[in-house]
Structure formats: structure tokens, C-alpha cells
Amino acid sequence: MSAVTGAAVVPGRIRVLTFIESATVTGPARVLLDFAKEARHAEPGLPAVDFTFVTYRRGSDQSALAAEATAAGVPVIEIPERGRWDPSVIPELRRIVTEFQPDILESRNVKSHFLIRLAGLHRRFPWVAWNHGYTMKDPKDRAYNQLDRWSLRGAFRVIAVCKPFAARLEQRGVRPDKVYILHNFVKPYVAPSPEEVQSVKQQSGLGDELAIITVGRMSLEKGHANLLSAIALLEDRPGLPPHRFVLVGDGQEEANLRRQAASLEIEDRVVFTGFQKNVVPYYALASIFALPSLSEGSPNVILEAMAAGLPIASTNVGGVPEILEDGVTGLLVPAQDPPALAEALRRLLTSEDLRAQLASAGRRQAETAHTLQAYKRELTQFYVDLLGAAEQSRLKRS
């Protein structure tokens, strides 16, 4: 069934087959999962979008993403693999896509980008590749990142989460007319119970002092080392109220960061919480949010902090300035500049009025411009337009 709006034919439902590899429910995976649950409900003028996830599985255990998607009613197909470069994945990938016959084929990670183009599936289905930026965790990541130059040129459309990523794609040879920019959304903030917050405060060893938090994996691009350097610089600033820093997350850099904190003699001012599945209580206990990243796309943690009503000091990287306006909804500083970050934190620590002003403006921005409903309308319309463009392209070739 199709509905006709003006000259455009709007399908009743769109079937999307999405390839995503994720052992845990990362930020991009969370955005996808939340959207998939919402998109299956049509609204006036827009069709429903039915997602099926395809993930990769090593061993007998289902991944956290696959388990959560299944529990949410999102179908999941798992491809067994013996390792990251398992050649048996290619014929299995072709079989799955051929049998499924999706309206749209998607890939959400560089590995899946490469496999879809290598399998030739981009010639048979309208393929959307998502670009969330690049990590450099190991040589395999770096290899896939280089292959992405070739992979993404074959996509029918590429979605980038911020303008700098879009510009980088164009530098890599992706045609500008193929690139679409879509920022992330944030769900409404639901305050935890006072008991939850008190429990987390006790576990973190916090008292009545102001808490400055940062949330994210501890990898080089997240810039935690610069935050620790900024914390050390604050030692020399007079008139600061009692405060402590809470670093929520884990990762390969955690041991180095703990050593750095000891070397800077700031261990008593820094709390390492490790990975936390539920970070909401940490937003609730915080007075300030800090993001020291060296690179970002459309950071979920910034949107979450805005929704939670926290004033933010962040580096001016990636899509951050597309979300935060300096001096209005946050304070922006250059990346890799601990003195500038320390000064922004000093301003927030010493001015309750500034904290309240930025927090209020940031919350309003999150609740109006970055909602799931707005995201749903924009992305669903993108899919409708994509199918129209794909049909025109097919007719031109025939």
C-alpha cells in the first residue's frame, strides 16, 4: 500500500536491513535502537520503517546489542565468524540480503561498509552508509579506515553526523550530493530517585562539594589526559569552591590516566568510576559537565548533559559547535589546550549565575531542536526521498 502526497508516492512501510557490529550498546547503536523502536509506528504523511539488524557473532553468546534489540522486538540476524577477516562472511552476507530483499540496505560501521561493497550488493540495492568518524584502537581499525576511502564511494548515500565529517568524506572522494548531515537526538531526561543519587555519591566517595563529570570511553581521542592537566592547573586558581572530578567510563587508556593523576598529585580530586551501564545518576549528582575530546561527531553525552540541565565546558571539535553555542548554551575552548579548559572550568565553578544561565539555555535547546520525534521525521523523510531517487536512477539505467 502507498499513500500519495502531492506528486510524491509515499510507501506504507519501508523495510531496512541494517548491518552493525557492536559487542556492546555504544552511543551510535543506542541511537539506532531507540529510533528503530519509534520508527515502526507510522504518522500522518510518513510511513513506518521496519528495521532488521544484522550483526556478527563469535562464539555461542549473543552480543549485548543483539540481545537488547531482540528484547525490544527488533529482529536480529547474526552472521557467525571465526575472526575479523573471515572470508566465509561474504557468501553468507549475500545470501541474507538476497533472501531478505530490503527496500534499503544500510551499514553503520567501516567493516560492514567494506563487506557490502566487496560483495557487490551496492549495485543491487540502494545502500546508505553511516559515518560516525574513525577510531584508532588497533591496526585492524586503521586498515578498515583506509579501506573506507574505497568503500564509501560506492554508497548511494552517506549520512554524516556533523559538518566536519561531511567535509572529510568529500576529501576522500565521496560526491557532495551523496552526503547528508544528521545530528543525533536525546530522549527527555528523567531524574533518578534521591536514593539512587545518594548511593552513587557514596560509592564515588563524594560529599557536598561540586562535582564535575565527564562520560566516555577512555581512549586517546577523548582527551582525558588534557582534562587531568587542566585539573592540575586549577590548583593555582584562588577562590574556588570545594569540588571534585568524576570520570565515568573505562578503556585502554585508564591505567595511563591513573598514573598521570598520581604524577600530577591530583588523585584526591579525581574519581575513576569505571564503566557504568546507567549514567543518569551521575548527571543528577553533577554541577558541571566537561568534554575534553580531541575529535567528536554529534556527541550523545553533550546532548544528555544539556537535557539534564548541566552547564558544559567542551572542546570546540567536530559537531560540538553545531550543537553548543559558545557563551549561550555552553563554553567552548580549543582542543588540546589545558589552560583554556581550566579557565572555562574556573568560570563555571566560581559563578552560580553563569552555571544557571548556560544550563537553562542548553536544556531548552535539547528539548526543542534535538528530540527523537524531530529526528524520526527527518530521517524517515530522508528514506522516502532516497527511494524516490533510487527509482529515478533505475529508470535512467533501463
Q: What is the DSSP letter of 15?
A: E
- Please determine, for residue 41, whether its predicted confidence score (pLDDT) is greater than 50: yes
Q: Which of 56-65, 238-247, 287-296, 360-369 is least confident? A: 56-65
What are 374-394's pLDDT values in tens digits? Answer: 999 999 999 999 999 999 988
Is residue 257 domain-shared with residue 311, that is, in the same domain? yes
Is residue 222 domain-shared with residue 108, that is, in the same domain? no
Please give the Cα distance from 148 to 169 (Å, whole number): 10
Is residue 172 domain-shared with residue 121, that is, in the same domain? yes
Within 96-242, strands assigned E span: 104-107, 127-131, 157-160, 179-181, 210-215
Mean pLDDT confidence for 211-236: 95
State the total domains in the chain: 2
Is residue 19 domain-shared with residue 72, that is, in the same domain? yes
Is residue 17 domain-shared with residue 28, that is, in the same domain? yes
Residues 6+ apart with CB under 8 A from 352: none
Domain of 59?
2-185+372-397
CATH of the domain at 378: 3.40.50.2000
Is residue 288 domain-shared with residue 319, that is, in the same domain? yes
Q: In what order do the strands lie in the sheet with 288-291?
A: 270-274, 243-248, 210-215, 288-291, 312-315, 331-333
- Please determine, for residue 59, whether its predicted confidence score (pLDDT) is greater than 80: no
Mean pLDDT confidence for 235-241: 88
What are 112-155's pLDDT values in tens digits? Answer: 999 999 999 999 999 999 998 766 555 666 676 778 889 999 99
Is residue 130 domain-shared with residue 66, that is, in the same domain? yes
Is residue 81 domain-shared with residue 198, that is, in the same domain? no
> Which position has the grid cell 530517585?
193
Is residue 278 domain-shared with residue 163, that is, in the same domain? no
- What's the chain's average pLDDT? 92
Q: Residue 63's pLDDT is what?
A: 84
Are 80 and 35 in contact by the 8 Å Cβ rule? The answer is: no
What are 154-189's pLDDT values in tens digits? Answer: 999 999 999 999 999 999 899 999 999 999 999 999
Nearest to 25 by CA among 292, 214, 218, 300: 300
- Which pTM does this prediction carry? 0.88
Is residue 145 domain-shared with residue 230, that is, in the same domain? no
Is residue 153 domain-shared with residue 81, that is, in the same domain? yes
Please give the Cα distance from 287 to 356 (Å, whole number): 10
Helix H segments across 173-223? 194-204
Q: Reduced to 3 states, what is the DSSP secondary structure of residue 52?
A: strand
What are 68-110's pLDDT values in tens digits? Answer: 999 999 999 999 888 777 888 999 999 999 999 999 999 998 8
Q: Residue 148's pLDDT is what?
A: 87
- Please determine, for residue 2, whether its predicted confidence score (pLDDT) is greater than 70: no
Are 306 and 186 in contact by the 8 Å Cβ rule? The answer is: yes
Mean pLDDT confidence for 304-315: 98
Is residue 364 domain-shared with residue 381, that is, in the same domain? no
Q: Residue 145's pLDDT is what?
A: 72
Mean pLDDT confidence for 309-327: 97
| Residue 14: pLDDT band with limits 50, 70, 90 | very high
Are 125 and 148 in contact by the 8 Å Cβ rule? The answer is: no
Q: Give the max Cα distance, the chain.
A: 74
Of all residues in the chain, what percent carry a pLDDT higher than 70?
A: 94
